[in-house]
Amino acid sequence: MDWLAILNNTAQSLLSPATMAFALAALGLAMHFGFAGLLNFGIAGYMAIGAYGYAISVLVFGFEWWQGILVSLVASVIFSLILGIPTLRLRGDYLAIVTIAAAEILRLLFLTTAFGDITGGADGLSGYHNSFRAANPFPEADYGFGPWTYNSVELWVLVLGLLALVACVFVLLLLMKSPWGRVIKAIREDEDAVRALGKNVFAYKMQALIIGGIFGSLGGVIYALPSSINPGVYVTSLTFFVWTALLLGGAATVFGPVLGAVLFWVLQSFLSNVLPELVTSGVLPFISSIQASTIRFILVGVGLMLLVIYRPQGILGDKKELTFVK
């Protein structure tokens, strides 16, 4: 077995655009579920809006890369409004059903050939990089060391992703330490009590939905920045992978989603490397190496179950503050 290659690949995922995209999306979910108690199962939809919003505005409308990001964020706000106005007045589980359906509708709209000219249909979108790469402040060279060696384009994506992540973490920290955060946490527990104290609960929930949505769509942009957009990515299982990352780190924490996303990707890439190797070297009998690489998804499922049962508050969470669903 080639342990060096395995460890190298695993180490790379510590700092990759996908990890940062997941961290951003999980941060959005932390806002939604962890702090405001909104059961959003449509985070993949928000990520799709981020990715497609960016690519379409660059490809179709010829926008600059930063304008494309702004379009994505505005689109996610509109999506939150459309989603929230009819559903936030209802009980929490309705939001869960509506968000999962809305994310699927979005994905199918992006997938259908009817809008193929704009969305690229099943092929997805690519080749939207010119404006972004032209703005790259790093001169052509190799940066970093060992597994963390990047060319200037990769570095530019990473730096932008890190900046976005740090900004979002900072904003969430400030928000949750403020009186606004206090109202949000109170709403998570009992809406009626907050309403009885004269707070407009609906407006607060809408604000939380919008902010978390912005984080999620920013995650989608970072996910799309390095290469291309494939509609097959933004499926419901992406939502549940982000949920796994969130619950792993701790839903009602600010740093938990970031830690969770990193651990999730490190584990994923470790398993996807080590399991086929184990088959080739005869340690794992009865299965082919292709089967072995999908076993990791089964392990993710099992891990998620164990997590919810034995450590619902996640790694960084305080059990007193959040044990799964109230």
Partner 1 sequence: MSSSAKIPGKPASKTTGLHIGEIRPGVSKVDPIVTIDGVSRRFGGLTAVDVEHLEIPRGAITALIGPNGAGKTTLFNLLTGFDKPDTGSWSFAGKSLAGIPAFKVAQMGQVRTFQLTKALSLLTVLENMKLGAKDQRGEKLLYSLFSFLWKVKEVEIEAKAMELLKRFKLDAKKDDFAASLSGGQRKLLEMARALMTDPVLVMLDEPMAGVNPALTQSLLEHVLGLKEQGMTVLFVEHDMHMVRHIADWVIVMAEGRVVAEGPAEEVMKNPAVIDAYLGSHQDTDLGTITGRITLPKGKK
Residues that bind partner 1 (CB under 8 A): 171, 174-175, 177-183, 185-186, 188-190, 192-201, 207, 211, 320-322
DSSP 179-239: HHHHHHHHHHH-HHHHHHTT--HHHHHHHHHHHHHHHHHHHHHHHHSSS-B-GGGSSHHHH
CB contact burial 142-171 (16+ within 10 A = b; e otherwise):
eeeeeeeebeebbbbbbebbeebbeebbeb
**Segment holding 90, helix H or strand E:** none
Only one residue has tokens 């399991």, namely 275
**Residue 244 identity (one-letter amino acid):** T
Eight-state DSSP code of residue 149: E
Eight-state DSSP code of residue 121: G
CB closer to partner 1 out of 163 and 193: 193
CB closer to partner 1 out of 129 and 205: 205
State the minimum distance, in angstroms, from the CB of residue 71 to partner 1.
22
State the minimum distance, in angstroms, from the CB of residue 12 to partner 1.
35
State the minimum distance, in angstroms, from the CB of residue 91 to partner 1.
15
CB closer to partner 1 out of 142 and 189: 189
Give the pair of three-digit tokens for residue 73.
């964020």
CB closer to partner 1 out of 165 and 184: 184
CB closer to partner 1 out of 47 and 191: 191
